[in-house]
Structure 1
Amino acid sequence: MNPPVTRPTPVILVLGGEYRQAMVDVLSQRYSADYEIVAPTTMEEALEVLIDLKSGRRPVALAACEFFEGGEKATHLLAKFQKFMPSARRLVYIPAERFRGSVAVMRESLAEGRLDLYLMLPQGPRDEEFHTAISETLSDWAQSVNLSEIDGTRIIADGPSPDLSRIRDFLDRMGMPNTVHTPDSPAGQEILAMAGPDAELPVLEAPGGELVVSRPSNADLGAALYGRPTDIGEDVVCDLVVVGAGPAGLGAAVYAASEGLDTLVIDQGPIGGQAGTSSMIRNYLGFPRGISGMRLAQRARSQAVRFGARFLAGQQVTGLRLGDGPGGSHLVELGDARVRGRAVLISTGVDYRRLGVDTLEDLVGRGVNYGAAASTSREVKHKDVYVVGGGNSAGQAAVHLSRFARSVTILVRRDGLGATMSSYLIREIEGNPRISVRPRTIVTDGGGEGRLEWLTLRDLDSDSEERVEAAGLYLLLGAAPTCDWLPREIARDDKGFVLSGADTPWQSWQGGRPPAPYATTVPGVFVAGDIRCGSMKRVASASGEGAGVVPLVHAFLAPDAP
């Protein structure tokens, strides 16, 4: 077991008047072992404390401010300190007698992104709902700033690279603690000696030192966690093989496994799909404080495993042979390996479209990222970054990056964000002084010495170009289907999305009736989520579609099914 990494003790800052000490007492009882509770009594003292923390590189995890009955609003007070602690989560605590008068103010502050949460001041030391909210908020902070307290998986690398970016993103999204060491460090020398003289960087050592891999592929990373397709067994026929582990695939896995179906889930990347890269989803039912896509995926995965579902991560599906197995089962091909399923769910989702600028494609992993790439956030601290895209994923990425970067600029082809982004995100972006939006603008060029340093932007109305400094470019360019491996018997639209139900060609209908919703043109093959033609492209709808497939699978597998 590797020793824990020593890091500065993070701080919880408490501001307030009449109820400040009560809040300090409640927080100290639960969190003083892991956090330093700092509670200045005056504004002048508070500023001195923040300057001291910043100069000493002490992170502020949570800033909690009392809701005052009169005078300056708590949210305005927190905003004044934001430049000192941009990554800190912001909480307003409200005494019971002031709650009614706070609701309208808090609602507005949350909508504009000036606040992360507000809570009633706990009435006793065991207000578990209060502490659940605090714990989840601190956990979200720790994950977003990549402060792993465990050495975990060790990676040896000599600097940024596409391979290192991919490996860290995979491990982060799978919830695996990891640290990067240079080749000349003690850890680097130790691991490279085990890897041998021919090892190419990056080199990865799994926890416990049992596995050392040079330039590991996604398949290697996934195999270290869940094994390889050959571990399933050639003679095993699963009830349901789910291809794609985004919200739709995970929704199906939870409900199918909980109802006794032998369920196998396969994904070419880490569990969670594109949604797993979202830094904060605030409009998912049942999570009033929001939840990151990564955490939502991890919880769904654990839930499915609890019911007996099996997973293969980092494994690329290359083909589907229809009804070619025992009892008419389908064969899902993964290169030279194959797994068998009586029913198959296609839930591969979509990928981000490529930008198509060669100079920037060469810098992927060195400042240029497809997706939110939360693991790179700290690399752009106090720098200028650009986000390309007008959907919710782009908005969530911009808000997350604004906790670290000096400025975040969203670039969109359209006249604005209104047609493609949820209202709550637009309001949050408009209220964030670090984020700006440049409509009718595209990226045409970029470069740098070894990593991204500059971009060329073109105004689509004037056709003029401008060169800007840029330490990061995050590309979230809409939806490209990911199912080229499907046979032609499964009908798709002209953009490549899978057709189902009444959208299928009438030639595939039986007795004049279309297939059931989520059923494709091939019996026993279903589709759900973003890859389905006509889907909503939202996390909640995708998980609902995945769950909705399970009754259809039961009906198909029933002994008297046609």
Structure 2
Amino acid sequence: MTPTETSAHPAPGTGDAASAGRGGDRPVLLTVDDDVNVSRAVARDLRRRYGGSWRIVRAESGSQGLEALREIKLRGGEVAVILADYRMPGMNGIEFLEQAMDLFPAARRVLLTAYADTNAAIDAINVIDLDHYLLKPWDPPEEKLYPVLDALLEAWRAADRQPVAEARVVGHRWSARSYEVRDFLARNHVPYRWYLADEPEGERLLAAAGAEPDSIPCVITTDGTALVNPSDVELANRVGLATAPAGDFYDLIVVGGGPAGLGAAVYGASEGLRTLLVERHATGGQAGQSSRIENYLGFPDGVSGSQLTDRARRQALKFGAELLTTADAVALEAAGPARRLVLGDGGRIDAHAVILATGVSYRQLNAPGLGDLTGQGVFYGSALTEAPSCSGEDVYIVGGANSAGQAAMYFARHARSVTMLVRGSGLEASMSHYLIEQIAAVANITVRTCTEVVSAHGTDHLEGLVLRDSSTGQTEKVDTHWLFVFIGAAPRTDWLDGVVARDEHGFVLAGPDLIVDGRRPAGWAPDRDPYHLESSLPGVFVAGDARAESVKRVASAVGEGAMAVALVHRYLAGR
């Protein structure tokens, strides 16, 4: 099929696939649809709204669309948005967009689809990181088309599309510290490229850095500085992360950078409180490691934990919150009317109030052999940096809650097979229904119930597991290099022992849970009951998963972070 003009006499800013490379410096909006009438209608609506500032290019097949993109690329042009119809012969919209990503990775991607193809569009969110899907017809465009494109174009303009300066990390495949460094950089949104120390480019970088082959991991920063086996603090300082507070007194200190802590930082800073967020590793917490969160309000297409928490982090910074990384809180104490936080490096920071949002960590799997192989094939949490290395291999996941299910869906895109090992008799009691249905529809995911890991073996990395069926007692040996563990939730509150009241599992008690037989907690001084999220130490509040009896969901954590700030205001007003 030959390229077709958008009209007999194209208006300024419009053109066909053959003339895609011409048109000055205006960025391109590309629409691809094999139905000529639909194609013309899309181009017409785009031209009405955007023709003055953007170049509208129309193609009538996936191959034509790719030809247009290559021409634009060769001529140094930019593509802001690509709209592709799902049902096209030869190459459907998802296949086209997947190839288009290689040419213009920053372009925003929209799939045009009929209602019957909605499931395909939802699947495309995971396959090609789809930005939006539009149901046909989109009339009136003022309500259904233009608001979507306005938001996508604004995001495209705001994005930095210059080549990203990357740190370089050289290490061994099964080095636990190499994994930790890569995980630290990835979760703190520091771009890097990974090289194996025993491959030519890795050897060259080590030689240039003057490092021995066993001196790994070696990190070469963007300014050329070589760091041999750096600590997290050293690494954070060199890549531009803040590790020390700018002051010694704040209105509010938030401990923990998960959804609850980020929510508190956003609301605290936006409401005029001088706010400091203290995080020991990376913002996001467990939620930040999730490959896809699909039941968070306001994100019907889903959002990765990394994207959600990065937006929250930037939002907190926009309002003036200060964020510390690699700052480990080790003690909390009353200092007269102030509350004092003691850090692992001996630093002390005072504030009028403190919000504890330390979240939880995955419990260690207690089976022989696992401890020695942590970071060498055995990982706690998603470890998304490892997904590409799992290509064509067999992955095992321990756990039956949402975090395990989300990880299974993500790793299934890379691995030959994913096997979920669940101690219970099913997933219904611990996993959201939508996620259970998604897992059932993926051919290379197997769910093995009533199954537990008995032991692991391997020399310098995981080589196999012994599994046991608890219903029959039978054991089985399986070969694998990959085990990801998502079991239970252990609160990070040992450092608060004797400071605030906790339950038998270590979760912080707050508000009404502190009132026993009508009596306030021992040592309680104010002439009032503790506020709803207030701990047994007045002025210290708790939000999110660290609170006793909390709902382990991202939305509730964010809500509690916001509520805690409101209660901080009440506390400060009543002193």
Normalised-by-shorter TM-score class: 0.7 to 0.9
Deviations 1:303-360 (A, max 9, x none): 101111111112221111x2226x5332333232222222111101000010122422
Aligned partner of residue 545 in structure 1, secondary structure:
helix
Assess if the C-alpha contact under 8 Å between 1:15 and 1:40 holds in 2: no
Distance 1:158 1:328, change over 3 A: closer
Assess if the C-alpha contact under 8 Å between 1:352 and 1:480 holds in 2: yes
Aligned to 2:467: 457
Distance 1:372 1:38, change over 3 A: farther
Pick aligned residue for 2:552 from 513, 537, 545:
537
Report how far residue 23 of structure 1 moved.
11
Question: d(CA) in 1 for partners of 2:420 and 2:154?
Answer: 29
Pick aligned residue for 2:223 from 195, 208, 220:
208
The structure with the largest alpha-carbon Rg is 2
Greater CA drift, 189-198 or 432-441: 189-198
- The answer to whether the aligner puts 1:546 opposite 2:558 as a matched pair is no
Amino acid at match of 2:334: G
Distance 1:193 1:31, change over 3 A: farther
Amino acid at match of 1:220: E
Assess if the C-alpha contact under 8 Å between 1:324 and 1:331 holds in 2: no
Distance 1:14 1:366, change over 3 A: farther
Question: d(CA) in 2 for partners of 1:14 and 1:366?
Answer: 46
TM-score when scaled to structure 1? 0.77
Assess if the C-alpha contact under 8 Å between 1:113 and 1:432 holds in 2: no
- 5 Å-filtered alignment, 1:478-557, equals 478-506=488-516, 507-509=519-521, 514-557=529-572
- The answer to whether the aligner puts 1:324 opposite 2:347 as a matched pair is no
Aligned to 1:395: 405
Assess if the C-alpha contact under 8 Å between 1:453 and 1:471 holds in 2: yes
Report how far residue 118 of structure 1 moved.
3.3
Assess if the C-alpha contact under 8 Å between 1:410 and 1:435 holds in 2: yes
Distance 1:182 1:132, change over 3 A: farther
Count of residue pairs the alignment pairs up: 503
- The answer to whether the aligner puts 1:366 opposite 2:380 as a matched pair is no
Question: d(CA) in 1 for partners of 2:241 and 2:95?
Answer: 47
Aligned to 1:242: 254
Which 5+ residue runs of structure 2 have no aligned equivalent? 1-29, 65-81, 157-161
Amino acid at match of 2:235: L
Greater CA drift, 348-357 or 447-456: 447-456
Distance 1:134 1:556, change over 3 A: closer
Distance 1:457 1:522, change over 3 A: same
Aligned to 2:26: none
Question: d(CA) in 2 for partners of 1:505 and 1:288?
Answer: 40
Aligned to 2:347: 337
Question: d(CA) in 1 for partners of 2:550 and 2:284?
Answer: 18
Greater CA drift, 438-447 or 243-252: 438-447
Question: d(CA) in 1 for partners of 2:31 and 2:400?
Answer: 35
Aligned to 1:119: 134
Question: d(CA) in 1 for partners of 2:120 and 2:63?
Answer: 27
Amino acid at match of 1:285: L
Question: d(CA) in 2 for partners of 1:442 and 1:531?
Answer: 27
Assess if the C-alpha contact under 8 Å between 2:184 and 2:282 holds in 1: yes
Question: d(CA) in 1 for partners of 2:327 and 2:528?
Answer: 37
Question: d(CA) in 2 for partners of 1:328 and 1:113?
Answer: 48
Distance 1:199 1:432, change over 3 A: closer
Question: d(CA) in 2 for partners of 1:15 and 1:447?
Answer: 54
Pick aligned residue for 1:159 from 148, 151, 173:
173
Aligned to 1:264: 276
Deviations 1:374-419 (A, max 9, x none): 1111001121111111111111111111111111111111111100
- 5 Å-filtered alignment, 1:89-100, equals 93-94=112-113, 99=114
Report how far residue 119 of structure 1 moved.
1.7
Aligned to 2:187: 173
Which 5+ residue runs of structure 1 have no aligned equivalent? 1-11, 42-61, 139-147
Report how far residue 440 of structure 1 moved.
0.5
- The answer to whether the aligner puts 1:277 opposite 2:280 as a matched pair is no
Distance 1:134 1:401, change over 3 A: farther
- The answer to whether the aligner puts 1:422 opposite 2:432 as a matched pair is yes
Aligned partner of residue 395 in structure 2, secondary structure:
strand
Aligned partner of residue 348 in structure 2, secondary structure:
strand
Distance 1:458 1:134, change over 3 A: farther
Question: d(CA) in 1 for partners of 2:470 and 2:41?
Answer: 53
Question: d(CA) in 1 for partners of 2:186 and 2:153?
Answer: 20
- 5 Å-filtered alignment, 1:135-150, equals 150=164
- 5 Å-filtered alignment, 1:373-452, equals 373-452=383-462
Question: d(CA) in 2 for partners of 1:508 and 1:472?
Answer: 50
Aligned to 1:222: 236
Distance 1:20 1:196, change over 3 A: same
Question: d(CA) in 2 for partners of 1:470 and 1:90?
Answer: 36
Distance 1:470 1:158, change over 3 A: closer
Amino acid at match of 1:374: L
Assess if the C-alpha contact under 8 Å between 2:535 and 2:542 holds in 1: yes
Question: d(CA) in 2 for partners of 1:279 and 1:496?
Answer: 28
Amino acid at match of 2:569: H
Distance 1:267 1:277, change over 3 A: same
Aligned partner of residue 544 in structure 2, secondary structure:
coil
Aligned to 1:46: none
Question: d(CA) in 2 for partners of 1:399 and 1:502?
Answer: 39
Question: d(CA) in 2 for partners of 1:133 and 1:407?
Answer: 38
Report how far residue 199 of structure 1 moved.
8.3
Pick aligned residue for 2:62 from 13, 31, 39:
39
Q: CA RMSD for the aligned pairs?
A: 4.4
Question: d(CA) in 1 for partners of 2:433 and 2:154?
Answer: 25
Aligned to 2:361: 351
Assess if the C-alpha contact under 8 Å between 1:246 and 1:276 holds in 2: yes
Question: d(CA) in 1 for partners of 2:505 and 2:459?
Answer: 38
- The answer to whether the aligner puts 1:253 opposite 2:265 as a matched pair is yes
Report how far residue 289 of structure 1 moved.
1.1
Report how far residue 422 of structure 1 moved.
0.8
Aligned partner of residue 489 in structure 1, secondary structure:
coil
